[in-house]
Structure 1
């Protein structure tokens, strides 16, 4: 008896084609609950990128009143405690500020908590203090206590910080830390881009006289400079060497920096450290002066220029 063989299956069956799910998926998308969730998500995105941002206050406009604030920090440990010396410095700042409608912040180094860092760091905290006290000022000029403003006719905002003046005076493609730093000042910087001006002397960057444009960048810069890591690091020249480090290795700072000729606002009393003061210069600093009664002491160096600035201011 013969049985019929079942039909042989094709050895090359057609490829498997999964059942299409497009229509069911689309139908699920059209469910009311799904539509509501998607709508809420879209509304949230719109709110996130438009509605919420409109509630954020735009960057505050600085009125420029006063145009400049002069900051000087007094440290009795470095000037020998002469009341006459102290008063002459204060009087110098106040007369100059009064003539041009500037503000002043004349403070004691002991008024700031530096957590064990050298008192010279107080220049940074005082400058930050000035920004808080004079939020609408346009520029802040930190000027070391061992110095006099000598030319009462010069306005900082025009003579030093004016856009055209900056472009004419900034030293481009200059090693930031002389003589051979591979990091150099920008060659394409415009005057309106400058937020910080410094000078160099024979030892490098001078932190005894600097000018900064008030604003968000200034806050960032000062907070960076005042970072606890820099204050705790054993730099030989404390905040000055910290500043040299920052301007070399932080492009965000270097891109806003201009180095100007020293005599514009940071002349020295003697040639040992840098460019010497000449009649007509804005300011003179008694670089390297010492306390006490020894040679090159600060009080005696100041006396060389005291009558000059008083005479200049009397006829201004």
Structure 2
């Protein structure tokens, strides 16, 4: 006897409005036979973003596993499909082996976007692979890619952070790492924590670090706000509605990396001396790295021993 909510209704064969009749060519285009798990992206807002293949897979699956049966049930109803719905979220994923045994051809959807990214879908993948059930991930809707492009920041390299820890040392560590990295960072945040997170980002990255906040992607009130972190923190201090994606620019090239190891000035001085630089040149280079004049000159003299040293400038 299972203890998860299911709805064992027959699959509807009526065509979905605007989509091809499933009876036409279904044998040629339908999902492959045999046990299989499909991770099916669902729209992050506009229901028109569902793909033809996603509908095809949902129609051919034995059941649909999801985080929220009411939300996923509304999507299936919109598509004209009736399927057993099984709740598999962070609290119930332990049931995955039993679900896979009962429904060997299982489609999994998250509340919105691509399953397995910042949700428990990755645990279902591991459970399926452990019993040699093939897994397919369909391409489709996701929130962070459109938000990254909309930010206007560098998209050549980026790091996806997902959701930051809510508090504690791990949160501070992740924020420090984000501030230090040179590439763009993308993260998700809940509406009621957005203001606090933007304030924390401004503290570690600097008030003027460029960033963007995108919410309600593909919906009627879609918005992308761009600007320095301190302005965004003030703008969203009272919170906001909708699904949130925050994009933060990487550390500027001229800004020191706080996590970089301290340079070995003596080794650097010897290297510069081997290149033929004078004691004064080496002194100036060491001073540019933050050494005091007398300390820099002493290292320069030791590195260029035997060479005619230049006297230090008057203090």
TM-score (norm 2): 0.24
The structure with higher relative contact order (CA 8 Å, sep 6+) is: 1
